Structure 1
Amino acid sequence: MRAQPTDDLVHDFPFDPTYGYDLDALLAVPAPEAPDGFDDFWRARHAEARAVDVAAELGPVEWEAGGFRAHGVTFTSTGGFRLGGWLTLPADGNVVRGLVSVHGYSGRDRPEPETLLPGTAAIWPCARGIGARSLRDDLPAPAAGHVLQGIGSRETYIHGGCAGDVWCAATALLHLVPEAAGRLGYSGISFGGGIGALALPWDDRFRVAALVVPSFGQYPLRLTMPCVGSGEAVRTHHAEHPEVVEVLRYFDAATASTRTRIPVHVGAALFDPAVQPPGQFAVYNALAGPKELFVTTAGHFEYPGKAAEKRALLASEHEFFLARE
């Protein structure tokens, strides 16, 4: 399926959600250069997460549908954060593969097993401070506040903790469903796409991934572009505190992707008012291993044909995963 012309999209944003980029220009957006100590910083964060006793606990079956049953799950992540979410299992008990699936910045209030390949055991964590099962009084839930939490230092910035949540969720899944080891994948959209891009290079348990409209890519460029997503809070903050760019350099999803060598499928949009397309494509362009791009018309925006594009994107992801098993 080909993306529709973005000229046909009617909107009232005070800016152009294509930011003046056509597909050829998007495919040329580079990743920012890594700052000194980038790899050491992330390897240390990963080592910290792998040392956590996640103490995963599986709750009773909450519902069963479409060949899957859903349980509540809790586990411990870095910093002692106790997180919640769901674990979905094939109703027939036949586990072929595992998946860590991470939500966008709007959070999650249920898992989506209808999007899974048969035989998939999936953990659907709510990242710290986001989603129905990981809210905390000491963390701002709205994206505009969450994205700035601890941003004054690379050691305290919340996105480092969110990457830890991904690694600890993988540990929890493999503890609860050990037969998924060796065939573990990752799936993330928007926030989850960007956090996944930050987390994937350092954890060799992941064998394949799918990132949809990934956020947090090409910060130097995105800081010049208005949007209606969490990036606007960062852009506004940066205008008053330009020194924060030295922290953001360690949390650029495109920079991290230059270290990712596993196969990755990316769904990126030509038009997106919330996650600027140049940042999305920078993540794809930077990937160092086998990769496949599915170009959608728009992200974070309703338009005719969106449902059909979403189905085609999911089918493309599934084909990509199956070809690498």
Structure 2
Amino acid sequence: MPLFDLPLSELREYRPERSEQPDFDDFWSRTLAEAAAFPLDARFTPYDAGFGLVDVYDVTYAGWGGHRIAGWLLVPAGASEPLPTVVQYIGYGGGRGFPHDWLAFVATGCATFVMDTRGQGSAGTPGDTPDPVGGDNPQSPGFMTRGVLDPDQYYYRRVFTDAVRAVDAAVSHPLVDGDRVVVAGGSQGGGITQAVAALRPGLMGAMIDVPFLTGFRRATEIVDTLPYGEISTYLSIHRDQEEQVFGTLSYFDGMNFAVRSEVPALYSVALMDPICPPSTVFGSFNHHAGPKEIRVWTYNKHEGGQTFQIREQLLWLREQFKRDDGPGTGRGTWWR
């Protein structure tokens, strides 16, 4: 697909009006308080991944509703002190896969925590976490309209809560430095990252790669591809529910989280992306309240920068984790 969205010069200034419900903050405070009523009960079981230089733990913890969420924790073999850590979230349909899928960041000497996504894990990479809650309304195949008539029942209320609790689970491990945690993800994982960057205090940064789950209405108006197309399909049948649907989605829109996030952030965008249109990405980026950078991949679709973007992330991550190193901090330079 050739360039189809706004010109880059306009995208850099694009700051669309946000649609936000007046109880947005109360909704998320209540949601996280309800989740906190369940003990985190994070369990780390040593796992034989066949590695010699990385230790792996098979993780479970209590997410939304106390439901058990799976994950991985990877740390350099023999680590004995708390490490800076990257908490990673997964793209749409994918699961946590296997530990060898997540070696890039642990190769720097930091720890990596990977959250499985409830109900997913049958597209691309396998997952191990069911979603025992549905929603009262019929839905378009996929996850975008599951419970979409009620913010309390909407699927991503559970996922975003799981993701906040994933940070809590990670920092409960003695080899994770709770003061140096960066959250990261691409596509759906990028949208989850954007939400967690606003909802979970104390983070050091966020790497938000070609994010999904932002600018819902514009996305459905300019592309018909999945997953946003699930919303369009649903509304093509349930014609009388448009405002109710977008009212629910406003509680989960990345722009509304971006304006509340003050952590340093590294974004990426692909200008030929028909899945997550560039204007939806720039909408969140331009609303992000904290220090921010964006890497632009002009001739790419939803794959974005791929290995080139990972290189950008590694360099950016090094600078974030080195910020507190130096005399008097009690922390040595960990990056080799």
TM bin, normalised by shorter chain, reads 0.7 to 0.9
Q: How many Å separate the matches in 2 of 1:246 and 1:319?
A: 39
User: Map of 1:69-108 to 2, 5 A cutoff?
Assistant: 69-94=55-80, 95-108=82-95
Larger CA deviation: 107-116 vs 278-287: 107-116
Q: In the alignment, which of 143, 146, 163 is matched to residue 146 of structure 1? A: 143
* Deviation of the 1:318 alpha carbon: 2.4
Q: What's 1:110 paired with?
A: 98
The alpha-carbon distance between structure 1 residues 266 and 66, as it changes in their structure 2 partners (threshold 3 A), is farther
- Closer, same or farther: CA 40–324 of 1 in aligned 2, 3 Å: farther
Separation of aligned partners in 2, 1:308 and 1:198: 24
Gaps spanning 5+ residues in structure 1: where? 1-10
Structure 1 residue 107 displacement after superposition: 1.0
Task: Report the CA distance shift for 1:201/1:68 in structure 2 as closer, same or farther (over 3 A).
Answer: same
**What is residue 38 of structure 1 aligned with on the other side?**
24
Equivalent residue for 1:205, pick from 202, 206, 215: 202
> What CA RMSD, in Å, does the superposition of the two structures yield over aligned residues?
2.5
Alignment of structure 1 residues 1-325 onto 2, 5 Å = 11=1, 18-31=3-16, 32-65=18-51, 67-94=53-80, 95-108=82-95, 109-111=97-99, 112-116=101-105, 118-131=108-121, 132-136=127-131, 144-177=141-174, 179-239=176-236, 240=239, 241-243=241-243, 244-297=245-298, 298-301=300-303, 309-322=308-321, 324-325=323-324
- Deviation string, structure 1 residues 287-312 (Cα, Å, up to 9, x no partner): 0011111112324248xxx5552343
- Percent identical among aligned pairs is 25
Give the distance between the partners of 1:278 and 1:52, measured in 2 at CA: 39
Do the aligned partners of residues 319 and 143 (structure 1) sit closer, same or farther apart at CA in structure 2, a change above 3 Å counting? Answer: farther
Residues 1:27 and 1:105: Cα distance change in structure 2 (over 3 Å): same
Spell out, residue by residue over 1:240-264, the C-alpha distance to the aligned partner (whole angstroms, 9 max, x if none): 3312111111111012100101111
| Partners of 1:236 and 1:258 in 2: CA distance | 29
User: 2 CA distance for matches of 1:273 and 1:250?
Assistant: 24
Q: Within 2, Cα distance between the matches of 1:269 and 1:191?
A: 15
Change (3 A) 1:318 1:227: farther
The equivalent of 2:332 in structure 1 is none
Shift of 1:321: 2.6
Question: Structure 1 pair 204/312, CA: closer, same or farther in 2 (3 Å)?
Answer: same
Cα distance change on mapping 1:177 and 1:107 into 2, 3 Å:
farther
1:263 and 1:290 in contact (8 A); partners too: yes
SS in 2 for 1:321: helix
Shift of 1:178: 5.9
1:257–1:22 distance in 2 versus 1, CA, 3 Å = same
Alpha-carbon separation, structure 2, partners of 1:20 and 1:254: 18
Task: Note if contact 1:73-1:86 (Cα within 8 Å) is conserved in structure 2.
Answer: yes
The one of the two structures with greater contact order (alpha-carbon pairs below 8 A, sep at least 6) is 1
What is the Cα deviation at residue 316 of structure 1? 4.0
Partner residue in 2 for 1:7: none
Note closer, same or farther for the CA distance 1:196–1:311 as it changes in structure 2 (3 Å cut).
closer
Deviations 1:41-80 (A, max 9, x none): 1222222333431211112222154832222111111112
List alignment gaps of at least 5 residues for structure 2: 122-126, 325-336
Distance of 1:307 and 1:171 partners within structure 2: 28
